[in-house]
Structure 1
Amino acid sequence: MTRLPRLALLAVAALLAAPPSYADPAAEPDLTPLVLAQRTCGDARSCRDAVILWCNGYRRADGDNDGIPCERVCRSRAQVNEIRAQIGC
């Protein structure tokens, strides 16, 4: 196998492995730089911000493991689950 076909196969594999795009742009999460730069629950301005923060790896957001991150801004598990469904988390 020559070098060019291997590179072509790698390129095709990379395209197939790419994450799927959102069918509905309105459902795409609002991952603004401000939200992604947040580091703690104190920085979350809304429950949506808190859920995005939590879904992007900030596990301390749900310190008591009740499924509600940043309880200062998120009031219920139903609210959190609704946001998670909207943003695909």
Structure 2
Amino acid sequence: MALSTVPAPAAQSRPAADPSQDVSRVKAVLFAARRTCRSVSSCEEAVRLWCSGYRRADGDHDGIPCENVCSTKQEVDAIRARIGC
């Protein structure tokens, strides 16, 4: 009795992903997962946390993350411009 071979399905071609983007996303998620507004001590830390994916930092959606350390939108906007967020 001969065994028949079934041809393997053709591999679907997918564009090659940039591994550095994947690593950056993972790092951002891990950074955000470890940090909360209670754990930051400066507005710059809060803005970095927010820009890294911690959306709960601006719960009221007024553009000011972690209002325990950031007081004005102008302060936040200046930090965002400086760090490129």
TM-score, scaled relative to structure 2:
0.62
Aligned pair partner of 2:49 in 53, 61, 68: 53
Q: Which runs of 4+ in 1 moved over 6 A?
A: none
Mapping for residues 64-79 of structure 1, pairs under 5 Å: 64-79=60-75
Q: Could you say what secondary structure the match of 1:65 adopts?
A: coil
Greater RCO, CA 8 A, separation 6+: 1
**1:39-83 CA distance string (max 9 Å, x none):** 210011100000000000000000000000000000000000000
RMSD of the TM alignment (CA)? 1.9
Partner Cα separation in structure 2 for residue 52 and residue 39 of structure 1: 11
Partner Cα separation in structure 2 for residue 70 and residue 82 of structure 1: 15
Partner Cα separation in structure 1 for residue 47 and residue 40 of structure 2: 9
Which residue of structure 1 lines up, in the alignment, with residue 9 of structure 2? none
Computing the radius of gyration from Cα coordinates, the structure with the larger value is 2
Which has the larger helix fraction? Answer: 1
